[in-house]
Amino acid sequence: MHSIFHFWKHLVRNKSSFAKVSALDEFRYDDKMLSCKNDGVFPDLALKLNRDHSVFTGGELIELKDSKTYSVSSFNSTIPTGKKSIRKIIPSEHSTTFLQMKNSGDDVFSLEERDVYYLVRGQKEKAQKICLVHGSFFETINL
């Protein structure tokens, strides 16, 4: 079973490993959970879909945000939202992201709307803070 909750559980169990990596993309994520891992392209990570139609759909998209301070680094690649259309993220069936997801066994377009999460790490001196935040937290709201 794959879900953002299982992903979080893996992070918590291995939290001491974060101190050993200089960048979030170097952390050893559980590859059995991932349908893709990208470098410099949204999403940085995507979880596999659950085919058994269980309580968890899986398929969440995760962007890594690493900073040498306690400020969240800028969102210059994509506007942060809580959900994204997979068809807007994957422009063609020849894209690297699509091929990775398909090769992992996912029916890529079977879940059109995907929840988006941000794995954020801030550092200050010898301390770190690591948060997994739903993208809706960063959405712009009108006043």
Q: Transcribe 38-93 into DSSP letters.
A: -SSSS-SEEEPBPTT--S--B--EEEEEE-SSSSPPP--SS---SEEEHHHH---T
Whether the predicted pLDDT of 59 surpasses 90: yes
pLDDT per residue over 83-142, tens digit each?
999 999 998 899 999 999 999 999 999 999 999 999 999 888 888 889 999 999 987 777
| Residue 140, token pair as written in the block | 């712009």
- CA–CA dist 4, 93 (Å, integer): 25
What is the pTM assigned to this prediction?
A: 0.90
* CB atoms inside a 10 Å sphere around CB 9: 12
Q: Taking Cα atoms as reference points, which of 70, 28, 17, 25 lies closest to residue 43?
A: 25
Burial of 106-133, coded b for 16+ CB within 10 Å and e otherwise, reads: bebeebeebbbbbbbbbbeeeeeebeeb
